[in-house]
Amino acid sequence: MRPPIQRLQFRPGLLDNVCWQCTHRALRQADRTSNPARKTLFSSKPTLPRTSANVAPALPRHRFKAGFFLSNTLLARTNGTSASHDTASAVTNPNSTTTAAAPTNSMATSLPPDASSRLADTAARAPPTSLRRTLSSLLSLSKPRLTVLVVLSAMVPYALYPVPAFLASPALASSAPSLSPLTLLFLTTGTTLCSAAANALNMLYEPDTDARMSRTRTRPLVRRLLSTRAAVLFAVGCAVTGTAALYLGVNPTVAFLGAANIALYAGAYTPLKRVSAWNTWVGAIVGGIPPLMGWAAAAGESATGDGTWRELLFASDGSSLGGWLFAGLLFTWQFPHFMPLSWGIREEYKAAGLRMLCWVNPARNARVALRYSLVFVPLCLGLCAAGVTEWSFAVTSLPVNLWLVREAVKFWRHEGHKGSARSLFWASVWHLPVIMVLALVQKKGMWARVWHSITGSPEEGNDLDDDEDDEDEDEDEKDPEWIASPRAGPTAGNVGLPENPRR
């Protein structure tokens, strides 16, 4: 298929404005310019048979597929990833004469459009000055699905934090909850705003590379649905508000982790993508910080010391080990998830100038995915040993971990071909939520408390407490201080006590 003619001069996001009548007229003018002998392109009149003796060979006619002049998102769905990429290349370089190639991997076209693209399409259909256009564009900057994943990865460790005995005692159970819902509200709100700020700064930094890739060319800044000033104000406002919510509503340690995550994602990971393939490891660190935020938020409510970062993240009794295990779980998950995803669009990363391991070293890309998929088994065992979950979690999580390992072995053996990249990607999509749910339903001691609350039988720890209370009462009765002196009159200490029988 020949590239679009230069007379159209379309840009990303403006293809909806091209109607078929204008396209017909432009094609006729371009055809007359390139071949004056032909009067019309869509002529319905019969033409005389031509022979090679008296007629020069005609140039190939323009053959556009259905939906060529539709919006960028519909074009990507219709013609595939490579067609979208070639269209973006033609927009960047109108003089290019390369033809569209078939998609290199079916995984690139099998992925559904992300929430940011859908919100950008909604904003593009709205009037330019409407509130709906502005809100949809701002929400698209936050990458809603990624933000939801970040928030959930912070909430799960908060819910799985082992409640200390003095907070779980019956005396406090009726008066105050063990973990504050208000703290959870501040944690989720602050984490959401920090994630939105980091994603918005990411889009502000690389609109030129986003325009060259089918996954990102529909973002609002690429399509000029939002001004750069508005995007900057949105990012700064979310960063300041989110950090303040974490500082005032949770604790300073969690606020520092939220601010550090913004700095790492926008200041280190995003620019490093143009320099080195190690950017994936930096991005994995960013993914591992939200679980630490949730764990530190829960640990701050039961802190017995000064509540500093040393006590919350590096406790001497080893109680902070569970938070680091969850951080390692999210850090490890990034590789079997991102490596097959990037392999499906490796040519787009290469054309955009982003140094990803999928095209720099495809063999190592597959080895890294396999290597980190093997780490999930010891991590799940570590959660059991740290007292975060029951030991049954090690058994129930084993089939899910082995499934991920099997898909990673296929990905390593075929280096992404024969559908192995697509299989590993979808396995990673399902793997993380299944592991989180299994950990939640097998929290240490949860079902024992539920059983005792249903049957009404006291727990083992409560039986010991009751025995100690009885012993204390017996000692108090034998204590001579409670016996009133015969010479002492009625005082505040012995009012209402029976008289001494020896008197």
For residue 178, is pLDDT > 60?
Answer: no
pLDDT for 192 equals 97
What is the residue type of 430? W
For residue 47, is pLDDT > 50?
Answer: no
For residue 400, is pLDDT > 70?
Answer: yes
The rounded distance, in Å, linking the Cα atoms of 136 and 144 is 11
The whole-number average pLDDT for the span 161-175 is 54
Which range has the worst mean pLDDT, 51-60, 194-203, 271-280, 421-430? Answer: 51-60
In this prediction, residue 43 has a pLDDT band, given cuts at 50, 70 and 90, of very low
pLDDT for 315 equals 87
Which range has the worst mean pLDDT, 176-185, 262-271, 390-399, 488-497? Answer: 488-497
* Domains defined for the chain, CATH in brackets: 1-42+63-102 (no CATH), 113-316 (1.10.357.140), 320-453 (1.20.120)
Supply the pTM of this predicted model. 0.70
For 126, 142, 150, 257, 292, the CA distances from 194, given in Å and listed in that order, are 28, 10, 10, 10, 15
Q: Can you give 72-134 as a three-state secondary structure string?
A: HHHHHHHHHHHHHHHHHHHHHCCCCCCCCCCCCCCHHHHCCCCHHHHHHHHHHHCCCCCHHHH
In this prediction, residue 407 has a pLDDT band, given cuts at 50, 70 and 90, of very high
pLDDT for 78 equals 37
For residue 360, is pLDDT > 70?
Answer: yes
The whole-number average pLDDT for the span 113-137 is 87
The whole-number average pLDDT for the span 289-299 is 95
Average pLDDT, the chain: 77
In this prediction, residue 361 has a pLDDT band, given cuts at 50, 70 and 90, of very high
> What is the per-residue burial (b if ≥16 Cβ within 10 Å, else e) of 391-402?
eebbebbeebbe
- Per the CB < 8 A criterion, the answer to whether 203 and 219 are in contact is yes
* 2-32 per-position pLDDT tens digit: 444 444 444 444 444 455 566 667 667 666 6
The whole-number average pLDDT for the span 251-274 is 95
To the nearest 10°, report the CA torsion of 164, 165, 170, 171. -80
For residue 124, is pLDDT > 70?
Answer: yes
The rounded distance, in Å, linking the Cα atoms of 146 and 322 is 24
The whole-number average pLDDT for the span 443-450 is 86
> What is the per-residue burial (b if ≥16 Cβ within 10 Å, else e) of 346-370?
bbbbebbebbbbbbeebeebbbbbb
The rounded distance, in Å, linking the Cα atoms of 421 and 415 is 8
For residue 285, is pLDDT > 80?
Answer: yes
More confident residue, 483 or 197: 197
- Per the CB < 8 A criterion, the answer to whether 440 and 397 are in contact is no
The rounded distance, in Å, linking the Cα atoms of 425 and 357 is 16
In this prediction, residue 270 has a pLDDT band, given cuts at 50, 70 and 90, of very high
Q: Which two tokens stand for residue 268?
A: 């280190």
DSSP for residue 265 = I
The rounded distance, in Å, linking the Cα atoms of 444 and 163 is 10
Half-sphere exposure of 105 (CA within 13 A, CB side): 21
pLDDT for 451 equals 83
